[in-house]
Homo-oligomer: A and B are copies of this chain.
């Protein structure tokens, strides 16, 4: 569009409005519910190792989610969030990335982290905010992060990671730009993957992040998890457009909508998106459609805001569907799988028992990392606190015994 207003140039002399839903956006689905490919589907030719890695990740997350939900009910952890229903969306999209592509997630994407190799112990240490937690026990359960695994630590304020992902991705592109032409001189090594919910997509940060990515051609994949709810707020009280995908054209971003309970469709779409993005630098928007099968978090009970009928009509389990695919392919032995699942569940319970007994972080960690090194006033506050605790050790049992 080579005119100052940056708009298309066709002129019309007739007064007519563009319809509120003028775009026709399909949902891409490849796998039937019985685990066979739709007859006319593009076969993504997934390899056996990747497929099994996806499957085992999903199975792990399901087991972890069930265990931790129960643990919260027992009062052993304060809070938990399950991924129920969205395991394929998260896992298969992460599988389509390179393992060193940065992931900037919202909070319900523990499966992507697991896919990268976050250990059972690491999950547990975070949730029990003990001294082994990489985050030093500072955030609520499920706020994971790992520099080593290129998984940005989760931040509770919604939407903030969206423009951050744009800036992060842009920075990865800079070394590939030929300063004289302004063009890419080589394929970009990494994309940045940005997950968010359809609720968070209402934040102003969403608008800024997508618009800037389009204008500056930042290699970022925006992965919108439309699971129908933001806590109690249903999608039709969240937006009036056709999902999140209908927004892509407003930013000039190539967009695709996928069945988020279909691991193959998610995998194929994300792989293609990544390939496009590293070649051109341009961002891609993917909207995944899957129903939040569980509660928002352990703090809520969806029976207060959604009907039994609706829940009964939406029970599509992405793990079961993918399992059928693997069985059809002959890549999985069901009996062995069941046995592994059994063992896994025991391991999880044991890891929980270990992690809940590990002591909390030391007092130093109350003030470290506010700055790269503590500023003088904070150091003084800390020294005074140490004296106070030494004077009243019985009141601060968690740290008193360990103060130097």
Q: Which residue of B lies closest to A236 (CB)?
A: B6
Copies of this chain, complex-wide, total: 2
Q: Are B255 and A8 in contact (CB under 8 A)?
A: no
Q: Which chain B positions have C-beta within 8 A of A282?
A: 20
CB of A27 within 8 Å of the partner chain:
yes
Q: Binary interface profile of A, 233-269, with partner B (CB < 8 Å = 1, else 0)?
A: 0111111111101111111111111010000010011
Q: Are B17 and A243 in contact (CB under 8 A)?
A: no
CB distance from A346 to the nearest CB of B (A): 35
Q: Which residue of B lies closest to A38 (CB)?
A: B13
Q: Are A235 and B6 in contact (CB under 8 A)?
A: yes
Q: Are B240 and A252 in contact (CB under 8 A)?
A: yes
Q: Which residue of B lies closest to A248 (CB)?
A: B18
Q: Are B250 and A247 in contact (CB under 8 A)?
A: yes
Looking at the complex, which of A146-154, A202-210, A333-341 is the stretch in contact with chain B?
A202-210
Interface size on A, residues (CB 8 A): 86
CB of A21 within 8 Å of the partner chain:
yes
Cβ-defined partner of A246 (8 Å) among B226, B235, B249, B259: B249
Q: Are A249 and B18 in contact (CB under 8 A)?
A: yes
Q: Are B26 and A234 in contact (CB under 8 A)?
A: no
CB distance from A159 to the nearest CB of B (A): 9
CB distance from A275 to the nearest CB of B (A): 11
Cβ-defined partner of A40 (8 Å) among B14, B30, B310: B14
- Which residues of A approach B to under 8 Å, CB–CB? 1, 4-30, 38, 40-42, 44, 198, 202-208, 211, 214-215, 226-229, 234-243, 245-257, 259, 265, 268-269, 272-273, 276, 282, 284, 287, 289, 291, 306, 310, 314
